[in-house]
Amino acid sequence: MSGQIFWICEPCPAADEPGAAADSLPQLPAGWTLSRLDTAQALQSQPSPTLLIVDQLQQQAVPELAALGSHSIRVLTVPDCQDEQLLPYIADFHLFYPQPLQPQALEQLIQIAQALAVLRLPLACHQQLLACTHLPVIPPVIQQLQQLLLDPDVRIDRLADVIEQDLVLSARLLQLANSAYMGFNHDTASVQMAISRLGLSLLYGLLLALSVAPALAGDRRTTDSELASMQLASSCRQVGQWLGLDNAALEQIVVAALFHQLGMALLQGATGDISAIDPAQAGAFMLTLWGFAPGLAAILLQQQALVTCADRPLALCLYLARQRQTAAVPDAALDAVLTARGLRAYWPAAPVTPIGG
């Protein structure tokens, strides 16, 4: 894919100033261009860029820049990625990075844009998701954890130290690990034990879901939203076991289930036009925007219909778990899949065919 990047700062560095040289930036993929602009120059530019990166923002320019980038991935760099620094801008930007933006961070942003393109969401859906003005921000503790998990040899005690910086989050993690939904036979007494039992990819997905669910659902609905997420995740784990999925696959499917519910919460709280979006698409969008491996987003999109997931075990697992939660009697197509997979006994009885029908 090709893409355009607007990098806005005040004042915009001249070509001969330090930091403006091309060798200070990573090599862009073929078809990508980068323009360094000040706010006035950006507002006169068309069309909307793929990536809109803003440095040294003047708060009065936020509405105009947000409108310029209504169909862009909007990124703000700030001196300190703490909640109090981000609150004025949460509704208008998708991602936040420390100043100055490092070359590897720009590479990561381009990869996110490319991954979103690979999702091949319908254009109207893609644009409506980018235009959403209330996507939650990943808390600093989750960003630290994400960086640590890039190291395959990271120590569990180091991960536990980072999680325990957030007392509320670590307490909720232990509460979840000890709930019936996770199915452990013995109490989980510490964050380190929770990490060992959950596995790293499931750990990260659970922590991210626990962190952003309140922002999506609102305080009054947080408990109900989390309960629905855990119920679907638990059902996925059970169906996955019936399908014979291994532990790595079970971790993936539980995270996918959580993001399906987060997608639903996003739509329930959305303002503006969301007519082209469904929960799976919203969940896949968030997974991709936040840097998860593309396979998880694919599971969400494939499980939307039986015809697209019947031969894909992980997507089928999520589809079956959602169908099973409705307690609806399966139709002929689903009944055939259940029978072929040896799962018919776990579903309601088939409907009685009327005489002469």
CATH number at residue 300: 1.10.3210.10
Instruction: Answer whether residue 357 is part of any domain.
Output: no
Looking at the fold, whether 196 and 285 belong to one and the same domain comes out as: yes
For 141-195, what is each residue's pLDDT tens digit? Answer: 777 887 787 777 888 989 989 888 888 788 878 877 777 666 676 788 888 888 8
Fill in the DSSP letter of residue 6.
Answer: E
Instruction: Answer whether residue 281 is part of any domain.
Output: yes
Looking at the fold, whether 322 and 242 belong to one and the same domain comes out as: yes
For 58-80, what is each residue's pLDDT tens digit? Answer: 667 878 888 888 899 999 888 77
Average pLDDT (97-117) is 90
Instruction: Answer whether residue 323 is part of any domain.
Output: yes
Instruction: Answer whether residue 82 is part of any domain.
Output: yes
Q: How many domains does the chain have?
A: 2
- Domain boundary (118, 148, 164) is at 118
Crossing angle (nearest 10°) for helices 103-118 and 294-302? 20
Looking at the fold, whether 145 and 106 belong to one and the same domain comes out as: no
Range of the domain at 63: 3-118
Looking at the fold, whether 93 and 219 belong to one and the same domain comes out as: no
Q: How far apart are CA 52 and CA 101, in angstroms?
A: 13
- Domain boundary (118, 149, 182) is at 118
Instruction: Answer whether residue 44 is part of any domain.
Output: yes
Instruction: Answer whether residue 355 is part of any domain.
Output: no
- Residue 170 contacts residue 220 (beta carbons within 8 Å): no
pLDDT value of position 355: 44
Per the prediction, the chain carries an average pLDDT of 82
Looking at the fold, whether 144 and 202 belong to one and the same domain comes out as: yes
pLDDT value of position 57: 65
pLDDT value of position 15: 47
Q: How far apart are CA 267 and CA 216, in angstroms?
A: 9
Count of helices and strands (H, E) across the chain: 17, 5
Looking at the fold, whether 77 and 20 belong to one and the same domain comes out as: yes
Looking at the fold, whether 260 and 210 belong to one and the same domain comes out as: yes
Which H or E element spans position 321?
A: helix 313-326
Looking at the fold, whether 11 and 41 belong to one and the same domain comes out as: yes
Q: Using the structure block, give the residue that is written with the tokens 């993929």.
A: 29
Q: How far apart are CA 159 and CA 149, in angstroms?
A: 8
For 204-228, what is each residue's pLDDT tens digit? Answer: 778 877 777 666 655 544 556 667 7
Instruction: Answer whether residue 134 is part of any domain.
Output: no
Q: Which residues sit opposite 97 in a β-bridge?
A: 77
Instruction: Answer whether residue 123 is part of any domain.
Output: no
For 88-103, what is each residue's pLDDT tens digit? Answer: 777 788 888 888 888 8
pLDDT value of position 46: 76
Looking at the fold, whether 318 and 170 belong to one and the same domain comes out as: yes
Listing DSSP states for 262-285 in one string gives HHHHHHHT--S--TT--HHHHHHH
Q: Which residues contact 160 (CB under 8 A, 6 or more apart)?
A: 190, 191, 192, 195
Predicted TM-score (pTM) above 0.85 = no
Lowest mean per-residue pLDDT among 11-20, 242-251, 338-347: 11-20
Q: In what order do the strands lie in the sheet with 3-8?
A: 32-37, 3-8, 51-54, 73-78, 95-98
Looking at the fold, whether 204 and 324 belong to one and the same domain comes out as: yes
Q: How far apart are CA 287 and CA 279, in angstroms?
A: 12
Looking at the fold, whether 229 and 87 belong to one and the same domain comes out as: no
Looking at the fold, whether 262 and 340 belong to one and the same domain comes out as: yes
CATH number at residue 45: 3.40.50.2300
H helical segments located in 75-190: 83-86, 103-118, 123-131, 140-148, 156-163, 167-177
